[in-house]
A and B are shown apart, each in its own frame.
Chain A
Amino acid sequence: MSDHAQEPLLEIRNLRIEATAYAPGEKPKDIVIVDDVSLSLERGKVMGLIGESGAGKSTIGLSALSYGRGGIRLSGGEIRLNGREIRTAGPGTLRNLRGREVTYVAQSAAAAFNPAKKLMEQVTEATLKHGVMSKEDAEKRAVELFRTLSLPDPEHFGDRYPHQVSGGQLQRAMTALALCPKPDLVIFDEPTTALDVTTQIDVLAAIKTAIAETGVAALYITHDLAVVAQVSDEIMVLRHGKMVEHGTVQQIIEAPREEYTRALISVRSIEHEEKKPTPEPLLRVEGVSARYGSMTKDVLSNISVELHAGQTLALVGESGSGKSTMARVITGLLPPRTGNITFDGKPLPPALKQRSREELRQLQMIYQMADVAMNPRQTVATIIGRPLEFYFGLRGRKRDERVQELLDAIELGKGFADRYPAELSGGQKQRVCIARALAANPKLIICDEVTSALDPLVADGILKLLLDLQKREGVAYLFITHDIATVRAIADSIAVMYQGRVQRYGTKSEVLTPPFDDYTDLLLSSVPEMKLGWLESVLDHRKMTSAGN
């Protein structure tokens, strides 16, 4: 213990990570992914690594295992773990280290577990392989960890297969897997990103408790500053593979020094004044129920909402609540079983095939994953130009001019028209999708989770663009999302959905003002807030209310 007291558990000095890019048509070239990053982590401390995609946070995290994914080279600097250099260590040393001294929790637990083996076998596998403890001890420890992580029925939880537990439980099981061999360091790589907010909070609390009880040190990688603020002691902000800022949680949240950190903190603070409803709604959904194929249960039951011209209705709820099904019903992909949809004063035919071209034009859609929503073999000009050609018969010069106008409207300048989707960034792709929807000159655009695949800052830009376009073009949005912050930023009215029903519906101010029903309360209070101690205060509050019952 005396040696360790002086030396930090993990010390990274001037780390440089490179990879070789084999771009078609060009000579292979080396690109620097991480440049001159240094950090040191004491035993039992948690450091958050934060940044947008491509910032190099996962790459740095994995370097603590002295591992580089797919062709990545740890080309310079020092990585010292427990006082010894591991960057240049041989495979034997690394084999002993990985899964024993340092373990890893991946983002998608569902993809990381072997579906053919029981959880217990997988949770104790590394521990047994490394001979850290006997099978009985390992299983006993696993059960203890299941209990710490508040998994249901900890004694028998390990007997289940991965598909028999929920996503949030699986993520906790992976945390147990990582903690089982009593490692010195755990790397959490976006462990809650793929989860619903209501699930995220439980997993987050479980991870925090487990870290505290086992006294393990951790690197916590995420793009969500509000999340990392709840679990870490220190935060390092990264951008483009370089360190932007490093400090304690309190300093980063309350007194950020760098411009970029300030931008990250003030993200989603768009203020949006809600508009008064007009007398006649643009879209009226009345008593709609729908189900898929031969299912015996409705996915949507008795939904009634209204959307007014030039306004935004947000459909909020966790995955499986029926939000996206709602979009399919309105677009006609899934004709409703019962109920009517009225659009612009006229009944909308239930099935896509019965709708006229004019009706189709009025109602456009923007998807969550912009990269699969565009044909990768068409140029931006074709993608945006096709609706112009199709609905308005624009051709040749006229079409090109209009395409350029639309590109200007989405704040992409010249030179984008001839590009292919693969040559655009994530945010640019989503902008092109917006332009494609706008090209039809619609009255209503359905936005299905359009910002959830984007980095916070980019997502902010998209939201601002959407609001701006609404002001200029008077288009209405049906905005589907699971993110309350986005709703606050954009909605005029809100429908909270839960298990295929509308739980709460009204104008934004009505819905977001207490008293809440139980589900809305759970949903709203689960959204991480950018302040210290938020997690504890929410959990305490919940404990109190459940005790009160």
Chain B
Amino acid sequence: MRGIPISALLGLIITAAFFIAAILAPWIAPYGMSEIVGDIWEPASDQFLLGTDNLGRDLLTRMIYGGRTTIFVASMATAVSFCTGAILGFTAAVYGGWVDQAMSRFNDLIMSIPTLIFALVVLSVMPVTLPILILVMGLLDSTRVFRLSRAVAVDINVMDFVEAARLRGEGQRWVIFREILPNALSPLVAELGLRFIFAILFISTLSFLGLGIQPPNADWGGIVKENREGIVYGISAALMPAIAIVTLSISVNLVADWALNRTTSLKGGRGV
């Protein structure tokens, strides 16, 4: 791991810290998640490092547990969106013709409906459980990934080495996973960093609107919602999730940039 640039190292450390905090939440958090331990909106003190929230729960504990939910949902949703989006996008590009037309136009159709409204409608008729939430977010986001991967794959699909593979008699699976995917990785990695952050914002928005994570479970959007009235009285509790989101997005993208550099190198990614 030598030769990592400072920026990537910083991003890696902070991202890792967020993820570790999320995974080890029950052991790290000073109090129970929905345990009322003090007065409402107490200022920061030695006892409550970030103060308390609108019900007198420890804000740091809520943030750690909230991060756990938010990061988990966002990661899973990003994974879903990339798997479906990339595979479908490559398939459309490789098959071409009416398969491509049908898939692309259907994709346009879905994209023409604002994502948030689509999600609100779906989630208001479906039971809001974690798998459903992840699936809805992931599939809606996959439309963007589909577009990108199709566009990238169309260019690669006409290269001579893909033709050489076809002439050899390779099946579409080999063409998609062994010829196209490795060459489409760079733009996809760049997109991955971005989409993960959008997923965090998306789940936060849903929770803020009350359709995401349900109380008493914490998540960053939910914390903003619970504490938003405090802003009027100068209570900063609602801003904490915002700071967390900003920090995480910057560090994730620092890491993505570095990964991008590595995947861009055609000399086996042995470079910086």
Minimum Cβ distance to chain B for residue A448 (Å): 9
In the bound complex, do residue B267 and residue A420 qualify as a contact, i.e. CB atoms below 8 Å apart? yes
A25, A352, A361, A365: most-surrounded residue (chain B CB, <10 A): A25
Question: Closest residue to B262 on the A side, CB-wise?
Answer: A24
Residue with the greatest number of chain A CB neighbours at <10 A, chosen from B160, B267, B270, B272: B160
* Distance between A379 CB and nearest chain B CB, rounded to angstroms: 7
Contact assessment for B183 and A376 in the assembled complex, using a CB-CB cutoff below 8 Å: yes
Q: Select B167's contact among A365, A369, A377, A420, beta carbons within 8 Å.
A: A365
Q: How far is the CA of A361 from the CA of B167 in the complex (A)?
A: 9
In the complex, per-residue mask of A399-432: 1 if CB is within 8 Å of any chain B CB, else 0: 0000000000000000000001111000000000
Contact pick for A367, options B164, B182, B266, CB 8 Å? B164
0 or 1 for each of B122-164: is its CB under 8 Å from A? (1 = yes): 0000000000000000000000000000000000000111011
User: B216 within 8 Å of A by Cβ?
Assistant: no
Name the CB-closest residue of A to B270. Answer: A25
Report if A192 contacts B (CB, 8 A). no
Establish whether residues B272 and A331, one from each chain, have CB atoms under 8 Å apart when the complex forms: no
Cα-based distance from A377 to B181 in the complex (angstroms): 10
With contact pairs A25-B272, A360-B168, A365-B167 given, residues A422 and B266 touching in the complex (Cβ less than 8 Å): yes
B160 near A372: Cβ-Cβ < 8 Å? yes
CB-defined contacts of B170 to chain A, threshold 8 Å: 390
Q: Does B234 contact A (CB under 8 A)?
A: no
Query: How would you classify the secondary structure of chain B's contact residues: helix, strand, loop or mixed?
Result: helix
* A278 interfacial by beta-carbon distance below 8 Å: no
User: Which among A361, A364, A378, A440 has the highest number of chain B CB atoms within 10 Å?
Assistant: A378
In the bound assembly, the distance between CA atoms of A365 and B165 in angstroms comes to: 11
Contact between chains at A377 and B182 (CB < 8 Å): yes
A377 touches B183 (CB 8 A): yes
Interface size on B, residues (CB 8 A): 24
Q: Does A194 contact B (CB under 8 A)?
A: no
Verify A390–B168 contact, CB threshold 8 A. Answer: yes
Shortest Cβ distance from A423 into B: residue: B267
Tell me if A372 and B159 are in contact (CB < 8 A).
Answer: yes
Per-position contact with A for B191-235: 1 when CB-CB < 8 Å, else 0? Answer: 000000000000000000000000000000000000000000000
B114 at the interface (CB under 8 A from A): no
Contact with A along B166-183 (1 / 0, CB 8 A): 111110000000110011
Is A25 a contact of B179 with CB atoms below 8 Å?
no
Q: Does A346 contact B (CB under 8 A)?
A: no
Encoded as 1 (CB less than 8 Å from any B CB) or 0, chain A from 213 to 243 comes to 0000000000000000000000000000000
Q: Which residue of B lies closest to A369 (CB)?
A: B160
Question: How many residues of chain A are within 8 Å of chain B by beta carbon?
Answer: 32
Q: Are B167 and A373 in contact (CB under 8 A)?
A: no
The yes or no answer to A333 lying at the interface (CB within 8 A) is yes
Alpha-carbon separation in the docked complex, A373 to B161 (Å): 4
Tell me if A374 and B161 are in contact (CB < 8 A).
yes
Q: Does residue B96 face the partner (Cβ distance < 8 Å to A)?
A: no
Contact of B267 among A24, A357, A361, A386 (CB under 8 A): A24
Chain A residue contacts of B167, Cβ below 8 A: 331-333, 352, 360, 364-365
Is B43 interfacial (CB 8 A cutoff)? no
B163 engages A333 (CB within 8 Å): yes
Closest CB in chain B relative to A447 CB, distance in Å: 13
B267 near A360: Cβ-Cβ < 8 Å: no
Question: A25 and B3: CB pair below 8 A?
Answer: yes
Tell whether A352 pairs with B166 under 8 Å between CB atoms, given A24-B265, A420-B268: yes
B247 on interface, CB distance cutoff 8 Å? no
Residues of B within 8 A of A440 (CB): 168
Interface residue? A375 (CB, 8 A): yes
Which residues from A are CB-within-8-Å of B261? 24
- A390–B166 Cα distance when bound, in Å, is 12
A383 to B, closest residue via Cβ: B161
Is A387 engaged at the interface, CB distance under 8 Å to the other chain? yes
Q: Are A375 and B183 in contact (CB under 8 A)?
A: yes
Known A420-B266, A420-B267: A375·B161 in contact at CB below 8 Å: yes
B271 CB-CB contact with A under 8 Å: yes
Residues in B neighbouring A376, C-beta threshold 8 A: 183, 266
Apart from A367-B164, A377-B266, 10 more pairs, CB < 8 Å: A24-B267, A24-B270, A333-B166, A367-B160, A372-B159, A372-B161, A379-B268, A387-B168, A390-B170, A421-B266
The 3 A-B pairs of least Cβ separation, nearest first, read A24-B271, A25-B271, A377-B182
| Chain A residues proximal to chain B, CB less than 8 Å | 23-25, 331-333, 352, 355, 357, 360-361, 364-365, 367, 369, 372-379, 386-387, 390, 420-423, 436, 440
Supply 13 A–B pairs (Cβ within 8 Å), ascending by A: A25-B271, A25-B272, A332-B167, A367-B164, A372-B159, A373-B160, A374-B164, A375-B161, A375-B178, A378-B178, A387-B168, A421-B266, A440-B168
